[in-house]
Structure 1
Amino acid sequence: MTKRDAYFDNVKFLLILLVVIGHLIEPLYDDPLLRPLYLFIYSFHIPMFVLVSGYFAKNIGTGDYLNKVISRLVIPYLVFETLYSLFDYWIYDRPELVFSYFTPYWLMWFFFSMILWKVAMPYIIRIRYALPIVVAVALLAGYANDAQYYASVSRTIVFFPFFLLGYYLDKSMISRLHTRGMRIVSTAVLGAAFVMIVLYSQLYRKEWFYGSFSYETLGHNEWSAGIYRIGVYALAVLIGGAVLSLVPRRSIPWVSGMGMNTLYTYLLHGFIVMALTAGGLYEVLDSAASKLLLIVIGIAITVILSLGSIRTWLRWLIEPRARRIFKRHPGRSSREGQTEHG
Structure 2
Amino acid sequence: MRNLHIDATKGVLIFLVVLGHYLERLIGWNEPLNQAILGSIYFVHMPAFILISGMFFKEEKILEKLIYFLSLYLPFQILFQLLDVFYNGSLWNWSFHLIWFIKPYWILWYLFSMGAWTFLAFFLKKTAYPFLFSLILALLIGCSPINNYNYSIGRIFVFLPFFMAGAIYGKTIFQYISQLPYAKLFAVITLLIITAVAALSQYSYYWLFGSLSYRQLHVDLGQGMLIRSVIMLLSILGILSLFIFTQNFKQPWIGLGQKTLPVYILHGYVIIILTHQLSFKYSVEINIFISFVLTIITCMVLQLQIFERFIRFISLFFYKSFMKLLEVLSIKKGL
**1:92 and 2:88 are equivalent in the alignment:** yes
In the TM superposition, residue 92 of structure 1 has moved relative to its aligned partner by 3.2
Q: How does 1:5-16 map to 2 (within 5 A)?
A: 5-16=3-14
CA-to-aligned-CA distance 1:201-258 (integer Å, 9 cap, x gap): 5x122100011111121120254421011011011011121111111256x2332122
Q: State the match for 2:184 in structure 1.
A: 183
Q: Indicate the larger mover: 313-322 or 135-144.
A: 313-322
Runs of 4+ in 1 over 6 A off after TM superposition: none
Query: Which of the pair is proportionally richer in helix?
Result: 2
Q: State the match for 1:160 in structure 2.
A: 160
Paired amino acid for 2:228: R
SS at 1:34's partner residue? helix
Q: State the match for 2:41 in structure 1.
A: 41
Q: State the match for 1:340 in structure 2.
A: none
CA-to-aligned-CA distance 1:100-153 (integer Å, 9 cap, x gap): 211111111111111111122221100111211221121111111304122211
CA-to-aligned-CA distance 1:59-96 (integer Å, 9 cap, x gap): 222xx4422331x3111111011010001111232574
Q: State the match for 1:81 in structure 2.
A: 77
Q: How does 1:117-136 map to 2 (within 5 A)?
A: 117-136=117-136
Q: Which of these residues, 297, 302, 306, is aligned with residue 305 of structure 1? A: 302
Contact 2:50 2:162 in 1 (8 A): yes
Q: How does 1:247-258 map to 2 (within 5 A)?
A: 247-249=246-248, 252-258=250-256
Partners of 1:79 and 1:208 in 2: how far apart? 29
Partners of 1:257 and 1:89 in 2: how far apart? 35
Q: State the match for 1:332 in structure 2.
A: none
Q: State the match for 2:330 in structure 1.
A: none
In the TM superposition, residue 280 of structure 1 has moved relative to its aligned partner by 4.2
The TM-score, its normalising length taken from structure 2, stands at 0.88
Q: In 2 relative to 1, CA 37–318 (structure 1 residues): closer, same or farther, beyond 3 Å?
A: farther
Q: State the match for 2:64 in structure 1.
A: 67
Q: How does 1:263-278 map to 2 (within 5 A)?
A: 263-278=261-276
Contact 2:267 2:298 in 1 (8 A): yes
Partners of 1:159 and 1:103 in 2: how far apart? 18
SS at 2:258's partner residue? helix
CA-to-aligned-CA distance 1:33-62 (integer Å, 9 cap, x gap): 2110001101111111111110111x222x
SS at 2:82's partner residue? helix
Paired amino acid for 1:190: L
In the TM superposition, residue 170 of structure 1 has moved relative to its aligned partner by 4.4
Partners of 2:36 and 2:227 in 1: how far apart? 19
- Unaligned 5+ segments in structure 1 are 330-336, 338-342
Contact 1:159 1:211 in 2 (8 A): yes
Partners of 2:236 and 2:89 in 1: how far apart? 41
CA-to-aligned-CA distance 1:163-217 (integer Å, 9 cap, x gap): 111000243332321136212221222234324433x05x122100011111121
Contact 1:145 1:217 in 2 (8 A): no
- Unaligned 5+ segments in structure 2 are 328-333
Contact 1:43 1:235 in 2 (8 A): yes
In the TM superposition, residue 303 of structure 1 has moved relative to its aligned partner by 2.0
Q: In 2 relative to 1, CA 137–314 (structure 1 residues): closer, same or farther, beyond 3 Å?
A: closer
Partners of 2:162 and 2:110 in 1: how far apart? 13
Paired amino acid for 1:26: E
**1:207 and 2:206 are equivalent in the alignment:** yes
Count of residue pairs the alignment pairs up: 321
Q: State the match for 1:151 in structure 2.
A: 151
Partners of 2:321 and 2:272 in 1: how far apart? 34
Q: State the match for 1:172 in structure 2.
A: 172
Q: In 2 relative to 1, CA 89–165 (structure 1 residues): closer, same or farther, beyond 3 Å?
A: same
Partners of 1:136 and 1:324 in 2: how far apart? 38
Q: In 2 relative to 1, CA 222–162 (structure 1 residues): closer, same or farther, beyond 3 Å?
A: closer
CA RMSD across the alignment: 2.4
Q: State the match for 1:288 in structure 2.
A: 285
In the TM superposition, residue 321 of structure 1 has moved relative to its aligned partner by 8.0
Partners of 2:189 and 2:291 in 1: how far apart? 27
SS at 1:169's partner residue? helix
Q: In 2 relative to 1, CA 115–313 (structure 1 residues): closer, same or farther, beyond 3 Å?
A: closer
CA-to-aligned-CA distance 1:260-314 (integer Å, 9 cap, x gap): 11010111000011112222433x2235224322122112212211233432454
Paired amino acid for 1:185: F
SS at 1:281's partner residue? coil
The TM-score, its normalising length taken from structure 1, stands at 0.86
